[in-house]
Amino acid sequence: MPRPVLILLLVLAGYSSPGQSFTTFNYSIEDGLPSSEVYEIFEDRNGFIWFATDHGVVKFDGEKMRVYQVKDGLTDPVVFGFQEDEKGRIWFRTFSGRLCYYEAGKFVPYPYNDQIVKIARNGLVHFAYLADRDEMWFSVRNRVG
């Protein structure tokens, strides 16, 4: 290898080459979260960020946080997770097993919550809503309904 090329390579190796960088944000109660206990974070198809907490859910538009609780229509104050169906509804998985979804700015309880709670018997419910067939599939521990 010619000497000028070797010198050029050594000089260039001394410079740091920046890679991709990212920015992180930490949100807390002071920023509008109802609790410091966040179970899941979810981004819906409209770009809103949802936080599941032990004191309701938060819908974040990038600037303001809107807190939703039982008084707003949630079926339980403790929300563990989210799922968005093909219709754009955001479903909420709660501690009590009672499901609800958010559509057009309102919370709607799942009409068969009483049956789910009876089957669950204090177990955590995991579910999948199949909007094209208008079916709800759920599991509780080793059971499927």
Q: What is the pLDDT of residues 111-135, one digit of tens each?
A: 888 887 777 765 667 766 666 667 7
Q: What is the pLDDT of residues 60-72, one digit of tens each?
A: 999 999 999 999 9
Report, as an integer, the average pLDDT of 86-99: 88
pLDDT at 145: 47
β-strand partners of 136? 129
pLDDT band at residue 77 using 50, 70 and 90 as cut-offs:
very high
* Distant-in-sequence contacts of 118-124, Cβ < 8 A, 24+ apart: 119/143, 119/145, 123/97, 124/80, 124/93, 124/95, 124/97
Distance CA 122, CA 73 (A): 21
Distance CA 40, CA 112 (A): 24
For the entire predicted model, the pTM comes to 0.75
Burial class (CB in 10 A: 0-12, 13-18, 19+), 81: middle
